[in-house]
Each structure stands twice: as structure tokens, then as C-alpha cells.
Structure 1
């Protein structure tokens, strides 16, 4: 049996996943990081992207995250995500509608803050569609 480590994915609402993993890839701010058992301690902010989990029991999980933090220490990886959605649960039609709304908000924005919020929303919904393709 391959070596494993503990992995937990937590969103503001709840614990989304708690498993033994063989490998987890996280979308770090500086680039994707592959985490294996015995990985050196690390803390990283996350960008929009997909966490890929190779479970010890077999099978894989793909979860879209919109920001957060990842910490690896003592052979345990914990991800605190600002927002997380299993890729398989992304509804393309609803996400496309939200992207359209965000782009309209961006076009109508009157202040820098409104533009920044609308751009962030548009970027998130586009990233969700890209990973669900």
C-alpha cells in the first residue's frame, strides 16, 4: 500500500472533505503544487483553480476553489477555501448566466471598487466554466 497523508478541505460553511490521500495538487498563488506524503511544511495562498485529490482508497476528487489558504505540516494538508464546489456539481447553465450578469455589472460599474468586484466575479465564473469543460 502506498504512503498516505491526511487531507481536509474546509469552506466557511462546513468540512467538505476529510480523507487519506496519496497526492493532492493545489492551485497555489505561485503555481500548482503537488503534495505527497512527507512533504516539507508549507503555507500558501490559493488562486482560482482546481484541487485534485488522489484518494488512498482509490478514485479522484476534483474541487474548484476560489481563493483561500493551504497548509502542510505533520503529514497533514489542510485547505481553508473561501469558496469550494466539486467540479462535477458545477451547473454550466447557471454559471454562464452568472458570468453574463457579472460582465453586465462590469460594463455598468461607475467606481473602481464596483469594477474590481465585478471583474473578480467574472474571473471566478469564467474559471468555473473552464474547469467544468
Structure 2
């Protein structure tokens, strides 16, 4: 059996995940981070994106992460996300509508300084992360899930 580490994914509202896993792939502010058991201690900023969880003998699990922090210890990872959703919780139609609204607000912000461009950009990044994760679920449902070892 491959070595494991405990992963917790937390938001202010709930504990989304708490289990032993083999690997965590997270959207770090400086790039994608792959965390394996016995990783050196680390605290890092997370950005909007897809968090992937690998567990031996099971299909990979995917989460849309809306920024936050990740604390890594050799046998334990805690993700403290500003927002996080499991792939099956994401409504693709609503995520697409949110993307469209964010793009419209961003365009208005370019034309009118009274609109908050940073907020529109954050909404766009969040909606794109949600869409990516939801589309992966839909694609895997049609083709069948992939098990990555």
C-alpha cells in the first residue's frame, strides 16, 4: 500500500473533505503544486482553480477552489479555501451564466471607472474554475472515469 497523508479541505461554512489520500494537486499562486506524503512543511497561497485528490484504488476527486491557503506537513495537508465545491455540486449552466455576467461586468469596468474591475476579474476566475471542474465531471460521466495511478 502506498504511503498516505491526511487531507482536510475547509471553508468558513463547512469541512468539505477529510480523508487519507496519496496525493494532492493544488492551484498555487506561483503554479500548480503536487503534494505527496512526507513533503517538507510549507504554507502557501492558493488561487482560483482545480484541486485534484488521488487515492489508491479510487477515481480521482476534483474540487473547484476559490483561493485561500494551504498548510503542508509531512503527513497532513489543510486547505483553507475562501470557497470550495465538489465537482458534483457545481451546476454547469449556472457557472456558465456567472461567467457571462462576470465578462460583462469586466467590460463595463474597462469603460467606466465606477465599476470594480478587480471584483469582476475575481468573479470571472471563480466561474472559470467551476466550469473546468464541472466539465471534467460531465466528460468523465460520458466516457467513464479515469483512474490515474
Normalising to structure 1: TM-score of the pair? 0.89
Query: Is residue 25–residue 35 contact of structure 1 (8 Å, CA) maintained in 2?
Result: yes
Q: Which residue of 1 aligns with 2:121?
A: 119
> Helix, strand or coil for the counterpart of 1:48?
strand
Aligned-pair CA distance for 1:48:
1.1
- Structure 1 Cα separation of the partners of residues 114 and 7 of structure 2: 38
> Helix, strand or coil for the counterpart of 2:40?
coil
Instruction: Identify the structure with the greater strand proportion.
Output: 1
> 1:34-92 CA deviation, whole Å, 9 max, x = no partner?
11111110111001111111125633211010100011114100000000011232211
Unaligned 5+ segments in structure 2 are: 136-149
Query: Is residue 62–residue 133 contact of structure 2 (8 Å, CA) maintained in 1?
Result: no
- Structure 2 Cα separation of the partners of residues 64 and 93 of structure 1: 15
> Helix, strand or coil for the counterpart of 1:7?
strand
Unaligned 5+ segments in structure 1 are: none
Normalising to structure 2: TM-score of the pair? 0.80
Q: Which residue of 2 aligns with 1:7?
A: 7
Change (3 A) 1:113 1:42: farther
Q: Which residue of 1 aligns with 2:60?
A: 60
- Structure 2 Cα separation of the partners of residues 20 and 107 of structure 1: 44
- Structure 2 Cα separation of the partners of residues 106 and 32 of structure 1: 26
